[in-house]
Amino acid sequence: MIFLKTFLKKLTKLYNLFKTIFVELNPQLKRYYLFLGASLVFSIGLQIGLGYLGVPWFVSIGIVMGLFILLPMIMRKRYMNKMSGYGGDSGTGGGGFFGMGSQGGSSGVQYVCLVCNNKHKGGTCPRCGSKMQRADF
């Protein structure tokens, strides 16, 4: 009886800790973790269901691991496409860290010479020949 009370107290503390951490998360990260947990539950249920159907355990584990890996990848790709920074057919290529805020007609990175403040497209400055430059995104 005493063991059950202490176990319930520890479980309640753990629940409250999880609840405070989960409330402070970014909403998109929270949605991702919920989806990850739901896909884990779905994968375990699928494995149990396949076990009852007589599918060998190594085949069911392979199917479940494949689903558990592929579902978050598909979700991440859909999210990146929704942000329109994953490439696609637009021709801008836009993905990654620097392609998020593309300004339509600007192509690539421009450099600014630290000596004469000239904007150019890489290498040495065409005006003064200096190699001291900073990137301008």
pTM of the model as a whole:
0.41
Q: What pLDDT is recorded for position 116?
A: 93
CA distance linking residue 89 with residue 84, whole number of Å: 10
Instruction: Find out whether 125 and 115 touch, Cβ atoms under 8 Å.
Output: yes
CB-based contacts of 5-13 (< 8 A; 24+ apart in sequence) = none
Q: What pLDDT is recorded for position 97?
A: 53
Residue ranges covered by each domain of the chain: 2-82, 108-137
pLDDT tens, per residue, the chain with 137 residues: 778 888 888 888 888 887 787 777 778 788 878 887 887 888 888 888 988 999 898 888 888 888 878 877 887 888 788 776 544 444 444 445 554 444 454 567 889 999 999 998 888 899 998 888 998 87
Q: What pLDDT is recorded for position 107?
A: 63
Q: What pLDDT is recorded for position 106?
A: 52
Instruction: Find out whether 43 and 51 touch, Cβ atoms under 8 Å.
Output: no
CA distance linking residue 42 with residue 33, whole number of Å: 14
Q: What pLDDT is recorded for position 28?
A: 78
